[in-house]
């Protein structure tokens, strides 16, 4: 993948239009990268797995046989049966229903958190890399400082003080990921910045925002897509780990990590409580990682068709 | 080399100052001060005032930060609010336990990972390579608490070979009951092993495609010599920095694994201090973890530059 998108001339337009146009191009770019990934075996397994989880996240609660918080006090810790497909927990809550509602919360939180981190990181990394010089040095030092915390520790500290709710978890994931994304996007910017069409746009006197969004950003799409998929998988791991440590979505709502944490007390009598959410987290992250692998591999495949004009 | 050392060590001091400031800011200046964090929701204004005075919170924040960091630099981390004894005493044994667990996992994971990674890289696309690649992808995808709980289901609740919880009697160390180390260390090993192995494999493949390796093969050197003299030294260098980068990850993993198995280490202490709203202890533990991270990064940089003349001499 080394297609270079060249804009011939720039009609006068507002900054807002520039950003909107760049976002459209970004969406198209992402779509194409995903489609390309289906040409690799990893992508062909990963994409359906991720899609399945996404569908469950959207429609799951409609399919759930019970309410996720509904107690069935006569059926505590019952093993999987026709009535309760995946068994029940210590309060007699249906595990299958809790799993479905947990899918929505973890996928929403992880996706929003990863998107926030990618947006902030891309913005910081690209502007810092484009600007260069002193500013770049100061900004990247601050990013290094943020990175000198292990991610989980920073997340735990922030959530302990701010209190744990979905908005704060999204915010935390965003903050934790920003410096990491910024570093990647900065080096991508540095390598595109020196190319002729960027110099060309500069000499035409284009504003910095235009050059960053319309000239450089479209050419970092391959890097950005891989980074986005990797970040999504880390976000799911981080969010579910926070849940396991009791700082995720608060009870009685269901959270996969918390379900696993609470299952430890019934390990010998009711192992299904642990196995169902464990399988759910595992398949989701494996799916995202396979997809990331597929996207990465597809970028090194020879191109079959390529329309630069679009 | 001396100048390099001086520069790196002064950088680490700066990093630690920034990190300590960040910990202080996050825990003390964000909305919801320490007193209300400690007392929780049922706090009355007079309770709050009493706790604030007791902790010295009535002093301005910069003064509190300075005295905290100055004491910490002299090895005095203050007193735990819940346990009412010096934090240094609480932390000492815990830190040792964590180091034992981490060291054990590291010794199991890294040599195996390098061996498997080199083998998979040399035998690229063979059946063994594919099995290793898929296996490591799965291992990376499993969060530590999932691996830990799965191992627990198999080896503790079903087979009854190993204890499911790693609780220790006070005054004993994990080395007195080494069997409690096995499951936590295995859990920690999973991700580390997979990650280091994938990177080693990628590095070996990259070096194998280089011109100097092709030259070495074409001039008729035996394969064994090509691998040991030409491929490995160049492929293993980046692996060192990857292993070091993983220390940060491992510290995160340690927090989770210790909580999965109730292992009495620093990560378990971190969560206990969060749950007990013991802010002085929380700050101290966070600082300790961040410092460990910074020091291990320094050690990695040093070993990398000692092994790589291109960096040492520049």
Closest listed residue to residue B257, CA positions, set B105, B153, B87:
B105
Q: What is the mean pLDDT of residues A216-244?
A: 90
Q: Is a pLDDT exceeding 80 seen at residue B190? A: yes
Confirm or reject contact between B248 and chain A (CB < 8 A): yes
In chain A, the domains with their CATH numbers are 42-183+220-309 (1.10.3720)
Confirm or reject contact between A45 and chain B (CB < 8 A). Answer: no
- For residue A156, the distance in angstroms to the closest alpha carbon of chain B comes to 9
- What is the topology classification, in CATH, of domain B87-313? MetI-like fold (1.10.3720)
Handedness of CA B7, B291, B193, A177 (dihedral sign): negative
User: Which one has a higher pLDDT value, B125 or B29?
Assistant: B125
Select from B267, B139, B93, B183 the least CA-distant residue to A264: B183
Phi/psi region, residue B211 (left: phi>0; alpha: psi -120 to 50; beta: rest), is alpha
**Is residue A78 pLDDT above 80, yes or no?**
no
Tokens of B131: 């099995």
Residue B181 has a pLDDT of 85
Q: What is the pTM of this model?
A: 0.85
pLDDT digits (tens, 9 = 90+) for A22-35: 888 888 888 888 88
- State the smallest CA–CA distance between residue B225 and chain A in angstroms: 31
The confidence band for A116, taking pLDDT boundaries of 50, 70 and 90, is very high
Rounded average pLDDT over B106-131: 87
Tokens for A6?
A: 């060249």
Query: Chain A interface, mutation test: which of B102, B134, B149, B280, most A Cβ atoms within 10 Å?
Result: B149
Which of A160, A245, A278 lies at the smallest CB-CB distance from B149?
A278
- Chain A residues in contact with B23 by the CB 8 A cut-off are 157
* Higher local confidence (pLDDT), A222 or B56: A222
* Distance (Å, whole) CA A247 – CA B149: 19
- Segment B256-282 shows an average pLDDT of 87
Would you state the pLDDT for residue B312? 60
Percent of chain B with pLDDT over 90: 2
Q: Is the confidence metric ipTM above 0.95 for this complex? A: no
Per residue in A163-172, is it b (16+ CB within 10 Å) or e — as a string? ebebebbbbb
- What is the C-alpha to C-alpha distance for residues B60 and B47, in angstroms, rounded to an integer? 20
Angle between helices B144-151 and A221-244 (to 10 degrees): 50
Tell me if chain B has a CB within 8 Å of the CB of A297.
Answer: no
The residue extents of the domains of chain B are 34-76, 87-313
The residues near A216 (Cβ < 8 Å, ≥ 6 apart) are A126, A130, A189, A192, A193, A198
Nearest to A157 among B23, B140, B293 (CB): B23
Which tokens belong to A265?
């007390």
Size of interface A-B (CB pairs under 8 A): 129
Q: Of A32-36, A234-238, B55-59, where does the model show the most confidence?
A: A234-238
> Do the chains contact at B141 and A278, CB–CB below 8 Å?
no
Mean pLDDT value of segment A92-112: 86
pLDDT tens per residue across span B66-109:
888 888 888 887 888 777 788 888 888 888 888 888 888 888 88
pLDDT score at A61: 79
Q: Smallest Cβ distance to B18: which of A145, A153, A260?
A: A145
- For residue B86, the cross-strand partners are B79
Mean local confidence (pLDDT), B240-256: 76
CB atoms closer than 10 angstroms to residue B28: 19
Query: Look-up: residue for tokens 């295995």?
Result: B186
From the list B201, B211, B275, the residue with the least C-alpha distance to B37 is B275
Among A69-83, B92-106, B212-226, B248-262, which stretch is predicted with the lowest mean pLDDT? Answer: A69-83
Tell me: pLDDT of A202 over 80.
Answer: yes
Nearest CA in chain A to B146: A278
Among the ranges given (A90-99, B185-194, B298-307), the one the predictor scored with the smallest mean pLDDT? B298-307
Quote the pLDDT of residue B35: 67
């Amino acid at each position: 993948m080394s297609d270079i998108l060249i804009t011939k001339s720039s009609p006068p337009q507002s900054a807002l239009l520039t950003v909107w146009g760049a976002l459209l191009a970004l969406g198209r770019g992402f779509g194409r990268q995903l489609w390309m990934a289906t040409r690799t075996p990893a992508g062909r397994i990963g994409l359906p797995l991720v899609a399945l989880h996404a569908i469950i996240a959207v429609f799951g609660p409609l399919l759930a046989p019970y309410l996720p918080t509904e107690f069935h006090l006569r059926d505590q810790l019952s093993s999987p049966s026709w009535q309760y497909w995946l068994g029940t927990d210590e309060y007699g809550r249906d595990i299958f229903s809790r799993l479905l509602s947990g899918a929505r919360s973890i996928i929403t939180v992880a996706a929003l958190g990863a998107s926030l981190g990618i947006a902030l990181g891309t913005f910081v990394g690209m502007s810092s890399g484009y600007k260069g010089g002193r500013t770049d040095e100061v900004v990247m030092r601050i990013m290094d400082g943020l990175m000198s915390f292990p991610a989980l520790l920073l997340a735990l500290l922030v959530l302990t003080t701010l209190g744990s709710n979905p908005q704060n978890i999204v915010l935390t994931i965003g903050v934790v990921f920003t410096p990491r994304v910024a570093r990647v996007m900065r080096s991508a910017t540095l390598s595109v910045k020196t190319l002729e069409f960027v110099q060309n746009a500069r000499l035409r006197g284009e504003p910095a925002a235009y050059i960053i969004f319309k000239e450089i950003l479209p050419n970092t799409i391959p890097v950005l897509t891989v980074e986005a998929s990797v970040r999504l998988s880390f976000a799911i791991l981080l969010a579910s780990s926070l849940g396991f440590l009791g700082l995720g979505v608060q009870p009685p709502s269901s959270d996969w990590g918390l379900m696993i944490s609470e299952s430890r007390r019934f390990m010998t009598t009711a192992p299904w409580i642990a196995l169902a959410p464990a399988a759910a987290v595992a398949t989701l992250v494996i799916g995202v990682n396979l997809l990331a692998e597929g996207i990465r591999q597809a970028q090194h495949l020879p191109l079959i068709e390529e329309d630069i004009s679009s | 080399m001396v100048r390099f050392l001086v520069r790196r060590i002064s950088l680490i001091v700066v990093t630690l100052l920034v990190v300590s400031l960040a910990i202080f800011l996050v825990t003390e200046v964000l909305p919801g001060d320490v007193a209300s964090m400690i007392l929780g929701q049922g706090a009355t204004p007079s309770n709050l005032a009493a706790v604030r005075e007791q902790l010295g919170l009535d002093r301005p924040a910069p003064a509190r930060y300075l005295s905290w960091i100055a004491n910490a630099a002299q090895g005095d981390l203050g007193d735990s609010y819940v346990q009412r004894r010096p934090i240094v005493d609480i932390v000492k044994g815990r830190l040792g336990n964590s180091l034992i667990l981490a060291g054990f996992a590291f010794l199991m994971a890294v040599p195996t990972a390098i061996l498997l990674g080199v083998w998979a890289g040399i035998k690229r696309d063979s059946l063994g390579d594919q099995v290793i690649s898929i296996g490591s992808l799965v291992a990376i995808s499993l969060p530590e608490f999932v691996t830990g709980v799965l191992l627990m289901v198999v080896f503790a609740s079903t087979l009854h070979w190993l204890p499911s919880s790693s609780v220790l009697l006070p005054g004993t160390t994990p080395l007195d009951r080494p069997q409690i180390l096995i499951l936590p260390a295995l859990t920690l090993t999973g991700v580390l092993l997979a990650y280091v192995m994938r990177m080693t494999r990628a590095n070996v493949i990259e070096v194998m495609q280089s011109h100097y390796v092709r030259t070495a093969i074409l001039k008729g050197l035996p394969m064994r010599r090509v691998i040991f003299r030409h491929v490995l030294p160049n492929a293993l260098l980046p692996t060192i920095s990857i292993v070091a980068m993983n220390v940060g990850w491992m510290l995160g993993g340690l927090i989770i694994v210790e909580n999965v198995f109730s292992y009495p280490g620093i990560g378990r202490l971190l969560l206990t201090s969060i749950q007990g709203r013991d802010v002085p202890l929380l700050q101290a533990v966070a600082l300790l973890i961040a410092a460990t991270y910074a020091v291990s990064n320094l050690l990695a940089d040093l070993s990398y530059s000692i092994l790589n003349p291109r960096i040492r001499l520049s």
